[in-house]
Structure formats: structure tokens, C-alpha cells
């Protein structure tokens, strides 16, 4: 029996949700879900295989005809009901996130609000999938453009935002008229299943919203990326896995949307408001204990303000509090697993051996150091070190000194990643030059947080393709059909 205390106990599920039914895996196979802060076993969850995933696709395909034919207003009403239930039970959903993912409870509550914002937004956008009439070059004819749902949509979602990454993908698809089959991370399936409880309560018809829980990522991913009845695959995760899934999607010429790895530069120019820049960096770097794809990874600070900025940053980093996400005033939780912690340790150790200075490191005595990594401030980091080439995915700020605008733009763009970038400056000419020169899908100018349901989120280069959020996010799930009406003359 789990120790997760919920006001509504039926939000805790350990069965998959397929075709409107809660089901076990074949042969009752399960996988374990643990609290990353303590190692406590939270649940044994149904471990669906490739055959069961195929059945989920079939259920979604069967549901497509009805779901795509009801009015946009009806789909909107289903989604609004779901939104209201998510907000009504936000405390329980946040507790599930904290216990299975590790982020502090305040952050988890923020994630639920963020997740719900996509449900509300796309409930509204459902009614705005407009077509077009184009002036025809031929007498007695009309050119019509229809936007129609693409079909069954498969989504593979990550562990770092177990609620928001589901709603950001699923709700535009649902709004467009597409049933969804979702494979949540095996690290964090409980939040996904709780969302399914609320979707069912909101009245979504059987087969429209399916959650395939599984520890067999490769087998399930192959089904979702190759099955001919899946029209589109949306994936958030590593670049390596994204490339593999794209290859598999090619076998059926399947549309895909990929939100892959990042290597975000955070640039502080000598005319920046340093206090504001420190605030922005704290938001970007240490949110979710540094485990986001848009975390500041390389922090470039101009010569004239480098020392002052480092001093201000050290003072702020020293105020962070590590601990279990359910404890009071905690700002940094555990890393998701031992593999993540080992990666951060490797990158920091290699940087220090190569000449970087460990200027400050938190004291985490009393915590399990196989689960927590101390907040760390590195200075004298040089471009070319591994820590500037790989996503850190941990609470480590790596400061790099630079001298001029041209140098830092070259360094910032010297990566195959192109998801997010940040910079702080006040000269208006510099702001326009730099924002246009940075090769990234998202740029925060004097801002450390930019995620919102009303703006398009996505990257360029090897950070992926496609956009989530905004009206552009719904366009991903709509096909364009050109219809020529002839013979309309007298």
C-alpha cells in the first residue's frame, strides 16, 4: 500500500487506462515506481507490452470516427470539464508529482497550474480550426481549404514534467479531433494515470484518451512509431532517442513532432541589470533542481561584470535548501535517479580537473548523497569542456568569461542544440542584434522564464521540430485539404 496521502484516494491508480477501461498487463506484469527522495516503493504499475500497445492503438483508431465527427464546441466542453477537475484536484496531483518525481511541492503545484492552462487554452482553440476560401482563377469555381484532424496521435512523455508534458501534447490533439495514446515515463506514471481518472470523469469517450504504462520503452516506442494506424508521433526526450523514433516513423511516412535536448546559453552583457540577471538565472538554472530541457547550461558573463555577477550569484545560490519535496521551504529536491546524479558528478569532476574552480558547493550532510547533488557554482569554465557540451541536468551553474558580442554569439551558437537561449542587456541595438543572431527556437531577453500556453514552444537544429502551445500547437494535428468546386456557373 502506498504512503501517498491524497484527499481523493481514487486518483491513485496502478493499472493502465485503455479504451475506457482500467486494465492489468498481460500475465499481470508490473514495474516498480519509487520515490527518488527516499527510495520508497510507491507502486507496482502495469507493464504493458507491444501487443497491448497495439490494442490501445486499435481502440484509438476505432474512437476516431466519432471523436472527429462531433462538433468542435462539444470537444471544447469535454476539455473544459477536464480542466475544471484538474484545478479542483490540483493539491492531490501536485503531491503525486512530488512523490514520484521529487520536485518541491510548491513547484509541483505550479506545474499543475501550467498543465491545466493548456487544457483550458486548447478547449478554446478547438472552436477556431478555421478553413479558407481562396479566389479561384477559373470561372464558375471555388477553391476551399479544409483543416481536418490528422488521426490517431501517439505521445511519449518525459519524467521531468509528468503532468504538463501530457497536457501540452494531448489537449491540442484532442481539440483537433484526434484520439491519443500516451506512453508516460516509467519513472512517473502515477501522475498520468491520475489525469486519466479525471479525463474519464469529464466524460471523454472510450478510446479517446489512453495511457499505456510500460517499462518496455523500446518495444512500445517501436509500435507507436511504426504502426500504420498512428498518424503522428509527438516525443519529448533525448536527441538520441528522438533520432531513432524519427527513423522508425519514416517506415510509414508518419508525421512527427520532436522536442529534444538543449544546451541553453545564458548571456550577461556588461550593460545588464545584474540583479535582474541573477534573478533570471536562479529561475532558469535551479528550477526542478536543474532538470529541465531549457535550463541555463552555459552561463556567459562579460569581463567587466564577471566578478560582481559571480559574487551576487553565490549569495543567492547559498540560500537554496535541499531536501524532500514535501518538507517546508525546500527549493531543491533529489535528482531523478542514480544515473542522473552520476552524470552531473562526472561533468563537474572533469571540469575541475581541467581547470575550473569550484567556487561554492552546498553542504548536504544529512541527506542521501546517492540521491541529492549539492548546488554548485563553478567559475573559470572554458568552452570545450564536457560540461559546456552536454546537458548538465542538475543544480550546477557553470560560468564562462567572454570579452565581446561577436565572440559570445559564436560560442553560444557552437552547438547542435537549438532549443532555448537567454540574455540580459539594456542597449536596444544590442538586443535586436543578439536576438536575431542566436540560433534557437526560443529566446528570453531579460527573462529567465518564458513558458506559457499562449506562445509556441520548440527548437531548431537537433533540438527538434514542431511547436507546442499557442495556435501553432494545434496546427500540428490538422491536415490541410484542398477542395476545388467546379461547374458552379450558370
Q: How far is it, in rounded angstroms, from Cα 362 to Cα 394? A: 13
Predicted local confidence at residue 327, as pLDDT: 96
Whole-structure pTM value: 0.97
Number of Cα atoms under 13 Å in the Cβ half of residue 475? 8
What top-level class would CATH report for the domain 9-261+463-481? Answer: alpha beta
Angle at 476 between CA 65 and CA 209, to 5 degrees: 45
**4-30 confidence digits (pLDDT tens):** 999 999 999 999 999 999 999 999 999
Whether 330 contacts 367, CB under 8 Å? no
Strand pairing of 180-183 and 132-134? Answer: unpaired
Whether 216 contacts 189, CB under 8 Å? no
Measured CA to CA in angstroms, residue 353 lies from 57, 94, 272 at distances of 50, 40, 31
Q: 476: closest CA among 259, 256, 261?
A: 256
Q: Where are the alpha helices (DSSP H) in 102-256?
A: 105-125, 164-176, 189-201, 217-226, 239-249
For residue 3, pLDDT over 90 is answered with no
Q: What is the largest CA-CA distance in the chain?
A: 87
Q: 222: closest CA among 254, 196, 190, 260?
A: 254
Burial (Cβ within 10 Å: 0-12, 13-18, ≥19) of residue 209: buried
Calculate mean pLDDT across residues 223-252: 98
Instruction: Identify the bridge partners of residue 378 per DSSP, sorted by sequence position.
Output: 358, 398
For residue 72, pLDDT over 60 is answered with yes
Fold of 264-414+420-452: Aldehyde Dehydrogenase; Chain A, domain 2 (3.40.309)
Instruction: Identify the bridge partners of residue 152 per DSSP, sorted by sequence position.
Output: 230
Q: How far is it, in rounded angstroms, from Cα 15 to Cα 9? A: 14
Measured CA to CA in angstroms, residue 1 lies from 14, 41, 47 at distances of 11, 9, 18
Angle at 46 between CA 40 and CA 50, to 5 degrees: 135
For residue 1, pLDDT over 90 is answered with no
Sketch the domain layout of the chain as residue ranges: 9-261+463-481, 264-414+420-452
Query: Model confidence at 489, in pLDDT bands (50, 70, 90)?
Result: confident
Cell, residue 101: 518525481
Residue 119, classed as helix, strand or coil, is helix
Strand pairing of 255-259 and 464-465? Answer: antiparallel
Number of Cα atoms under 13 Å in the Cβ half of residue 298? 31
Residues belonging to the chain: 490
**328-346 confidence digits (pLDDT tens):** 999 999 999 999 999 999 9
Which residues are identified as catalytic? 259, 293
Amino acid at each position: 500500500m502506498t504512503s501517498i496521502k491524497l484527499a481523493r484516494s481514487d486518483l491513485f491508480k496502478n493499472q493502465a487506462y485503455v479504451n475506457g477501461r482500467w486494465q492489468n498487463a498481460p500475465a499481470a506484469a508490473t514495474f516498480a515506481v519509487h520515490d527518488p527522495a527516499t527510495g520508497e516503493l510507491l507502486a507496482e504499475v502495469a507493464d504493458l507490452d507491444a501487443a497491448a500497445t497495439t490494442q490501445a492503438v486499435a481502440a484509438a483508431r476505432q474512437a476516431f470516427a466519432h471523436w472527429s465527427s462531433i462538433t468542435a464546441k462539444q470537444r471544447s466542453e469535454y476539455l473544459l470539464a477536464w480542466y475544471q477537475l484538474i484545478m479542483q484536484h490540483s493539491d492531490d496531483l501536485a503531491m503525486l508529482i512530488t512523490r514520484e518525481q521529487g520536485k518541491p511541492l510548491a513547484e509541483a503545484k505550479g506545474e499543475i497550474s501550467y498543465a491545466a492552462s493548456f487544457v483550458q487554452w486548447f478547449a478554446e482553440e478547438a472552436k477556431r480550426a478555421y478553413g479558407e476560401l481562396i479566389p479561384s482563377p477559373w470561372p464558375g469555381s471555388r477553391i476551399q481549404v479544409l483543416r481536418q484532424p490528422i488521426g490517431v496521435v501517439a505521445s511519449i512523455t518525459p519524467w521531468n514534467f509528468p503532468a504538463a508534458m501530457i497536457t501540452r501534447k494531448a489537449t491540442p490533439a484532442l481539440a483537433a479531433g484526434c484520439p491519443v495514446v500516451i506512453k508516460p515515463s516509467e519513472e512517473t506514471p502515477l501522475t498520468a494515470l491520475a489525469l486519466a481518472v479525471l479525463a474519464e470523469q469529464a466524460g471523454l469517450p472510450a478510446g479517446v484518451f489512453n495511457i499505456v504504462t510500460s517499462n518496455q520503452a523500446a518495444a512500445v516506442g517501436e509500435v507507436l512509431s511504426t504502426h500504420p494506424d498512428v498518424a503522428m508521433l509527438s516525443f519529448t526526450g533525448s536527441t538520441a532517442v528522438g533520432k531513432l523514433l524519427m527513423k522508425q516513423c519514416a517506415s510509414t511516412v508518419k508525421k512527427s513532432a520532436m522536442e529534444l535536448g538543449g544546451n541553453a546559453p545564458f548571456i550577461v552583457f556588461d550593460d545588464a541589470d545584474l540583479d535582474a540577471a541573477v534573478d533570471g538565472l536562479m529561475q532558469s538554472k535551479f528550477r526542478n533542481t536543474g532538470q529541465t530541457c531549457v535550463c541555463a547550461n552555459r552561463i556567459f558573463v562579460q569581463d567587466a561584470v564577471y566578478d560582481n555577477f559571480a559574487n551576487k550569484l553565490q549569495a543567492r545560490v547559498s540560500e537554496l535548501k535541499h531536501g524532500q519535496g514535501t518538507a517546508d521551504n525546500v527549493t531543491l529536491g533529489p535528482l531523478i535517479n542514480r544515473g542522473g546524479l552520476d552524470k552531473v558528478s562526472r561533468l563537474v569532476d572533469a571540469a575541475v580537473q581541467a581547470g575550473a574552480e569550484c567556487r561554492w558547493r552546498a553542504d548536504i550532510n544529512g541527506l542521501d548523497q546517492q540521491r541529492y547533488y549539492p548546488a554548485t557554482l563553478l567559475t573559470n569554465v572554458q568552452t570545450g569542456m564536457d560540461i559546456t557540451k552536454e546537458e548538465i541536468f542538475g543544480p550546477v551553474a557553470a560560468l564562462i568569461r567572454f570579452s565581446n558580442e561577436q565572440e559570445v554569439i559564436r560560442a553560444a551558437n557552437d552547438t547542435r542544440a537549438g532549443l532555448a537561449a537567454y540574455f540580459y542587456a539594456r542597449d536596444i541595438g544590442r538586443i535586436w542584434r543578439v536576438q536575431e543572431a542566436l540560433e534557437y527556437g526560443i529566446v528570453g531577453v531579460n527573462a529567465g522564464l518564458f513558458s506559457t500556453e499562449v506562445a509556441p514552444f520548440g527548437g531548431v537544429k537537433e533540438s527538434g521540430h514542431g511547436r507546442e502551445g499557442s495556435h501553432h500547437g494545434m496546427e500540428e494535428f490538422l491536415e490541410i485539404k484542398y477542395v476545388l468546386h467546379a461547374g458552379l456557373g450558370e
